[in-house]
Structure 1
Amino acid sequence: MSSNKGGLDKAKLFSSKELEIATDKYNENRILGCGGQGMVYKGMLSDGRIVAVKKSKTINEGYLEQFINEIFILSQIDHRNIVKLLGCCLETEVPLLVYEFIPNGNLSHLIHDQNEEYPRSWDVRLRIAAEVASAISYLHSSASIPIYHRDIKSSNILLDEKFRAKVSDFGTSRSVGIDQTHLTTKVLGTFGYLDPEYFQSSHFTEKSDVYSFGVVIVELLTGKKGNLDIWIARKEGLSLVFYVVDGRKPFAGYC
């Protein structure tokens, strides 16, 4: 990480004591969410800033690699629609990452939760889609090193106080050479958002991220979950995307 240009210079090193105080000793009441890599807690630093602290679930080499990878990736990124990594703690057995706090949950909650406080107008949905598209375009074409996100989905798109999109969760992301056209890698991602070509060939390209973004667009249009195929696949082997392509109408829409 130290050899990375910019690297940890852009990320503060927090002490374990500082983060323990900030999260009230990782109080259950401070839990914001739980992902594949770890638990996320709301914290308040000594200067009054509200932050989100991600703590790895277990002492696991795979999780450790993903946490280090996220530090490496996010230290190279500066885009208003991508969540900012403020720093990390390297004193503990399990790694700790500290991010800017994003107050309005994620896009999945906005689409699927029956909460009247969430604005669901077409203008808001179109703006969010444009912001996510801008972030993905930046990762692929404007970052210092091209980056494939590899897990674009509505639950990884956070919403700030003005419901602006912030793409998050870069644990499985990979940087690639400027002239590199694809990654050959173990298939990772979320069922329902996976590019079928990537699933079959293990070749991940920038179009694989675009496919996942397309599923998010369909979610915004229909109000149905992108991983609908968890239950449909057992009956017909179809996903939300294939239902749309096939012209079926299993739902009334989101208007």
Structure 2
Amino acid sequence: MIFCFSGTGNSRYIAKRIAEALEDDIIDLNARIKARDTSSIQTGQDVILVTPTYAWRIPRIVSAWIARTEWRDARRIWFVMDCGAEIGNAARYNREIAARKHLCDMGTAQVIMPENYIAMFRAPQAKEAREIVARAEPCIDEIVSHLKNGEAFSAPRNNLYDRLMSGPVNPIFYRVVVKAKAFRAGDSCTGCGQCVRRCPVNNIRLIDKKPVWEEKCTHCMACICYCPAKAIEYGKRSVGKPRYHFEALRYEK
């Protein structure tokens, strides 16, 4: 069984590629988390978790959901993490998750995909994004090969920088950076509610047909990147930057 959480579609695309190759099912964690659904799941022996990288680990809302949800019959787990640059030492913390679930950890694989974190960085234009995805395809194919053969992933890089970023920097990043107060909707907002529907943590409400952000934000960037009117900004940090979500690429392998 494949579990997938995705902010702007990169992880969803990778999960679909894996599901098609393995003829397996995908559980949409966005929907489960949004519905606060932690009911037990019959997974079968093998579990594949596909997520983006948030502050050099899997998203906290995903690890929290895993901790609260019973996986019946699960024996082995593979972690697949996409990122704009690097996953740091996420594999160490994934091993801890596997141990708490009494699962055999089959390793963590990294896939470089287009950047979406426009709260800090610049997302690529569509042409460059398609090129990045094309370069990721051999990596996804290699991941699929390991999964088909029931093989563990090769150990990812693990240097001092990786340990620093996934270790002490991760909680600092969440405490200092991951906040919703800088989000705002401009005059071009139509009140369509797309941001409300996309938010996996129910952090956005429409008041007088304008979105209002509360305090549970996970910085998935779904609200700002899927806004059809491009009406949402993250303070001054997102002004003038291209928005990115995978579906807009109309990418086909």
Q: One fold, TM greater than 0.5?
A: no
More relative contact order in 1 or in 2 (CA 8 Å, sep 6+)?
Answer: 2
Alignment TM class, shorter chain as reference: under 0.3
Give the alignment's TM-score, normalised by structure 1. Answer: 0.23
